[in-house]
Structures are given as C-alpha cells and as structure tokens.
Amino acid sequence: MTSEDRAAIIDVHNITKTYDTGSVSVQALRGVSVQVAKGEMVAVMGPSGCGKTTLLNCLSGIDDVSGGQIVIEGTDINEMSDDVKTIYRAQRMGFIFQFYNLLPVLSALENVELPLLVSGASPKDSREQAMKSLERVGLTDWATHKPAELSGGQRQRVTIARALVNDPAIVWADEPTGDLDSKTASDIMDLMQELNREQSQTFVIVTHDSSVAQRCDRTIHMNDGLIEREEVHAN
C-alpha cells in the first residue's frame, strides 16, 4: 500500500529551518514538502548533516520551523502553543532515539509508564499498560531492571515499549538501530515492522542503514536540506 492509497496523517508544505548561532546562519531545511499516510512506515535517509534529524524534530513538534506548514492529523502544529504541542506529543506520538534516552534512575517499567502518567492516566492503568507494552517487546522479566542492567538491544526494546505504550498515531525513530549490532538491529526492525502491521501505527524512521530503509514502505532521500528523491519498497 502506498501513501497515495491512504489518507495523509502527516502533511508538510515547503518547510524551512534556519539555525542562527549569532555569527553563523545555517539553513538546515530549505523547503521540504512531504506526505505520510496513516499506518505507513517511512525511512528518511541521507548523508550526515543533510537535515534528517532536523526534519524529524520539526515534524514531531519538538523544534520550531522557520517557515512552511506542518499538518498532523489535520491540525497545523505551528499554531499550537508549546503546552498543547507537548500534550499532543504525550497522547499521540511516540519517540525512539538512537541512544535510547531512558532515565537511568527508573526501572524499565517506570520508564515505560512515564508517557501515560504525563497524559493523565491513572497510576494503576499506567502500570498495567506499561506491563502490556513490555510484554509486547518481550521484556516482562526485565521490568524491574534499570537501564544500566540491560543490554543495548533490551534498552532499545524498552524505548520501543515506551514509544508505543500510549498507543500513538505516529512513532518517530531517530537512528533506532544506530547503536546496535546487525543481529540486534534486525530483531528491532522485526519488532517495529510487526507492531506497525498489527497496530497500523505510522513510523517515521531516520536512518543511515539502507537495510533498515529497505524494510520500510518508502524511503525519502535527503541531501543538503532538501528531499532529493523518494523510493517505494515492495514489502
């Protein structure tokens, strides 16, 4: 299924992003337009510094754009206040980072239940949901362990469990396999694909790894702040 076949959950028009450090001005995005359909798994590839992570940050609302429009689930996120954007992220989005970004002082279970707690879910429900989410990624037995006691792959699974615990519409993943060996990376991709299929959640994955991109529905190739080309995969 291609993006044309489904309604766009992400609709981006000509966005630009300029970093101004005072002495230097860097144009990270120079007019990017893209649509992502609901349930689609999209990879964003390109050389270092091409603007992949900036694009992901802007689309997910954790960074502001300098120009253009981003419509997520029919709402222009530029028009949302910071608080509204934050709540929206908590309820409708999930994040997976290259370096896991788990809180080292909390157990796997506590890390996973954080998004639910900030969304206002009751502690009891949060705990149940978090356990289910950990079960989905196969880490029930490691629930009480802290990140330092887990392997890289296990940590990334916890991150995935955390990203999916609030049943988000969109999951943003920035180099999810970048810190893993190829076997573990493949397992993680299997897991994400499986969840994508089962839950019909939209995945936007920034990656350097072409094997990761190959397993997505579509790959967007970026260069120098622009989309160079798109590639659809028959998975």
- Which of 54, 154 has the CB closer to another protein? 54
- Which of 93, 216 has the CB closer to another protein? 93
Least distance (Å) between residue 32 CB and another protein: 16
Neighbouring C-beta atoms of residue 17, cutoff 10 Å: 22
CA dist 1 and 203 (Å) reads: 14
- Which of 21, 23 has the CB closer to another protein? 21
Least distance (Å) between residue 84 CB and another protein: 10
Beta-bridge partners for 113: none
Least distance (Å) between residue 117 CB and another protein: 4
204, 171 Cβ separation under 8 angstroms: yes
Least distance (Å) between residue 87 CB and another protein: 7
- Which of 57, 196 has the CB closer to another protein? 57
Helix-helix angle 152-164:123-136, to 10 degrees: 130
Return residues touching another protein (CB under 8 A): 53-54, 57, 60, 62-63, 82-83, 86-87, 89-91, 94-95, 97, 99, 101, 103-106, 110, 114-115, 117-120, 122-123, 148, 162
Kindly give, in sequence order, each residue whose CB lies less than 8 Å from that of residue 189, ignoring residues fewer than 6 positions away.
177, 211, 212, 215
Least distance (Å) between residue 134 CB and another protein: 16
Which one, of 150, 141, 87, 96, lies nearest residue 116 by Cα?
87
Least distance (Å) between residue 120 CB and another protein: 6
- Which of 101, 199 has the CB closer to another protein? 101
Q: Strand 75-76 to strand 67-72: parallel, antiparallel, or no bridges (unpaired)?
A: antiparallel
CA dist 14 and 66 (Å) reads: 10
Which burial class, exposed, middle or buried, applies to 199 when counting CB atoms under 10 A from its CB (0-12, 13-18, 19+)? middle
Which one, of 1, 36, 52, lies nearest residue 224 by Cα?
52
- Which of 122, 235 has the CB closer to another protein? 122
